[in-house]
């Protein structure tokens, strides 16, 4: 259920098609690939590399670097406040993803959810600053809460 909530938030401002069909297809494929690549990098490669030395460090470093990586959006013209919100909720989502990955031993739930979230952003309607903040808080609470729940069930394993 937490992943379903996370996959739905891009539709809360409404549904909109932003490009003509060829452009929309390209955007969808690109965003699906972004979700796939980011999961392979941050959960598949980074987590697995750090996990060899310390599972706890891998669980902490993977989502923080994932979230911090979104700072690059400042270079593409995004507002500082919006980027900071994105970094905060990306870290929370990263913790949820890393806990699902760790507990399930499968990267696929993370890839599917991440890719869907990214693809859905291509169909998101116009939003207000207030709604953006509310959505960010919901993402942080849902993803963070889910990560804490999964972490609580994994404590004995760590």
Where are the chain's structural domains?
2-152
Residue 5 has pLDDT above 90, yes or no: yes
> pLDDT tens for residues 15-40?
888 888 999 999 999 999 999 999 99
> pLDDT tens for residues 49-67?
999 999 999 999 999 999 9
Mean pLDDT of 65-79: 92
State the chain's mean pLDDT as an integer.
Answer: 93
User: 110 near 44, Cβ under 8 Å?
Assistant: no
Q: Which pTM was predicted? A: 0.90
User: 48 near 62, Cβ under 8 Å?
Assistant: no
Task: Look at residue 18 in the predicted model and tell me its pLDDT.
Answer: 80
**Would you place residue 156 in the very low, low, confident or very high pLDDT band (cuts 50, 70, 90)?**
low
Task: Look at residue 154 in the predicted model and tell me its pLDDT.
Answer: 62
- For 6-10, 19-23, 144-148, which range has the lowest pLDDT when averaged over its residues? 19-23
Task: Look at residue 96 in the predicted model and tell me its pLDDT.
Answer: 98
Residue 111 has pLDDT above 90, yes or no: yes
Contacts for 59 with CB less than 8 Å, ≥ 6 apart = 47, 95, 98, 99, 102, 151, 158
């Amino acid at each position: 259920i937490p992943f379903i909530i996370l996959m739905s938030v891009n539709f809360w401002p409404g549904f909109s098609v932003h490009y003509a069909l060829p452009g929309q297809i390209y955007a969808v494929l690109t965003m699906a690939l972004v979700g796939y690549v980011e999961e392979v990098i941050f959960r598949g490669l980074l987590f697995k590399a750090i996990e060899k030395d310390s599972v706890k460090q891998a669980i902490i470093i993977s989502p923080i670097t994932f979230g911090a990586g979104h700072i690059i959006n400042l270079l593409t013209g995004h507002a500082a406040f919006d980027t900071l919100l994105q970094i905060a909720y990306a870290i929370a989502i990263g913790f949820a993803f890393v806990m699902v990955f760790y507990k399930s031993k499968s990267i696929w739930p993370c890839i599917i959810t991440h890719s869907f979230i990214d693809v859905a952003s291509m169909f998101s309607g116009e939003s207000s600053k207030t709604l953006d903040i509310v959505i960010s808080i919901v993402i942080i609470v849902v993803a963070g809460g889910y990560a804490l729940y999964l972490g609580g069930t994994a404590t004995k394993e760590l």
